[in-house]
Structure 1
């Protein structure tokens, strides 16, 4: 009797387990479908504007204005790109922006990584006070005029350093780097290296840095995008056209083309042509400014994904 009861109880348990498994599996499938549908909508919402700018830059402006351009180019036209790249200043701007970005990213990493590593070590004296000081700088700044006076007094006006040095060491970058080193370079590993005779600099260069590809890629990409799109500091501090960034050159080209198209000078046919060309240039400049970043990002995406998850999992 007892054996029969136990067998029946076990059978009921198995049936309930199977029923629960089927329900769970069914719920998981629906969740996956809804999640996939949601992500597809997000991708379309984010990606379509960029796709529209791309096809509008090679379509007839009249077709764009009348709403005939939706998914594919209409009446292929490359006059906007021809006009943009015919300007010698574009190549000067590209060269300057590439130099500013590379130098700025190198300086950023040179300042941020050692600071972040030092703050991640528990045996650093005063690390709490330094961390709070860094946090304070995220809430307050000196303002535009005091910053301009500092840059001027340091003799950096109209030089590469006026664009690169201000903001070279960001508080957010230091704190994210500190969190990464705390998780990826535990105190036990550093203590073991110390026992073997390694100093702090050797531990940083030979142990911490080789393990830091994700955070290096993340910080480099964030700071590099900011420098590539740098506009305001270049507008304030640079007056020599040979030192203009790409964004300033494109702004100047866009403003000139729009002013020409809006002026009443010339024949009606010429004015219509100028307006058409101004519309093409507007979209072409967006692609010219964004394309290099879109090319570089896939190569850093794997490390970048790991880096942005820093601090989300405790362990």
Structure 2
């Protein structure tokens, strides 16, 4: 009984230490978010000398100020357009490329796969990309934010491995019934590939929603900038012109630059956080299956 008791004691000690470690990680992860949430709901006349996660008073004046700002509204609309359009086109192009490279009968499949993987490690660089976008006439347009990165090599390889793991008998039986490649892809392969499609959708949508550097380079019109650029100017540069902080309304005492910055951060991150739970159940399965077969 002593060895069993010693083993049980070891297991219990491990579980306790593991639980405490996970609890610590959760606290470290959640506290900044809770603090920003508390700050965004706080009136402008509070003291910021101490950190707090429960606001002494609750006001929605900060969110009202942010959500009625013209730059924030235009940035939000531009980001939504970029995210939906970019995700749809990237997902379609990635699936087409991955499905093609997953077929053993595709001529020189290994060469083309290696050629595509090569782009993961070497690229033309920032200046050639800028000159290319400029020469194509894409400057100051949404297409400059979508077309240069239409296909992610990593995502395409994950999707290719997923398609390779599917039974070949599905395709063979469909061809016997007279189905062509497009019919097989849209009517058979895509419906049973929801895990990897949901995974790719999440990756691509988050990447487009969070992207800001390409907009900083290619977009010169302030009304066409994405939300991340607007947030950057408000939070990091503290641009008064972006929020017109000197032109307060009747709620001028209820807001200040710090609470405005906190509200802007939450307005930026909450939409994409709410998007995740709808795809979470497919995410783990899609990543595991897509990464097993080379």
After TM superposition, is the score higher than 0.5? Answer: yes
- 2:202 & 2:281 partners in 1: Cα distance? 12
- Is this contact kept in 2: 1:158–1:243, CA < 8 A? yes
What's the secondary structure of 1:41's corresponding residue?
A: helix
Give the helix-richer structure, 1 or 2.
1
The correspondence for 2:181, drawn from 200, 204, 228, is 200
Unpaired runs of 5+ residues, structure 2, are: 247-251
The correspondence for 2:227, drawn from 241, 246, 252, is 246
**Residue deviations 1:109-133, cap 9 Å, x none?**
1110011111112221111111111
The 10-residue stretch of structure 1 (150-159 or 35-44) with the greater mean CA deviation from structure 2: 35-44
Higher relative CO (Cα under 8 Å, sequence separation at least 6) belongs to: 2
- 1:180 & 1:64 partners in 2: Cα distance? 54
The correspondence for 1:108, drawn from 90, 107, 121, is 90
Unpaired runs of 5+ residues, structure 1, are: 1-17, 261-265, 267-272
Note if 1:134 corresponds to 2:113. Answer: no
**Residue deviations 1:189-230, cap 9 Å, x none?**
222222232222222111110011111111111111111122
- 1:37 & 1:255 partners in 2: Cα distance? 35
The 10-residue stretch of structure 1 (23-32 or 170-179) with the greater mean CA deviation from structure 2: 23-32
- 1:222 & 1:311 partners in 2: Cα distance? 14
- Is this contact kept in 1: 2:41–2:58, CA < 8 A? yes
1:15 aligned partner: none
- 1:127 & 1:296 partners in 2: Cα distance? 36
- Is this contact kept in 2: 1:68–1:74, CA < 8 A? no
- 1:312 & 1:41 partners in 2: Cα distance? 30
What's the secondary structure of 1:212's corresponding residue?
A: helix
What's the secondary structure of 1:66's corresponding residue?
A: coil
The 10-residue stretch of structure 1 (204-213 or 242-251) with the greater mean CA deviation from structure 2: 242-251
**Residue deviations 1:233-287, cap 9 Å, x none?**
1111112233221122233344674568xxxxx9xxxxxx99x711112211110
1:292 aligned partner: 271
Query: How many positions carry a matched residue from both structures?
Result: 283
1:281 aligned partner: 260
- Is this contact kept in 1: 2:133–2:144, CA < 8 A? yes
Q: TM-score when scaled to structure 2?
A: 0.85
- 2:2 & 2:290 partners in 1: Cα distance? 38
Q: Compute the displacement of 1:140 (Å).
A: 1.1
1:7 aligned partner: none
The 10-residue stretch of structure 1 (290-299 or 236-245) with the greater mean CA deviation from structure 2: 236-245
1:52 aligned partner: 35
- 1:139 & 1:313 partners in 2: Cα distance? 21
- 1:21 & 1:127 partners in 2: Cα distance? 56
Cα–Cα, structure 1 residues 291 and 20, in superposed 2: closer, same or farther, change >3 Å? Answer: same
Note if 1:163 corresponds to 2:145. Answer: yes
Within-5 A mapping of 1:158-197: 158-183=140-165, 185-197=166-178
2:282 aligned partner: 303
2:65 aligned partner: 83
Note if 1:223 corresponds to 2:204. Answer: yes
Note if 1:39 corresponds to 2:22. Answer: yes
Q: Compute the displacement of 1:186 (Å).
A: 2.0
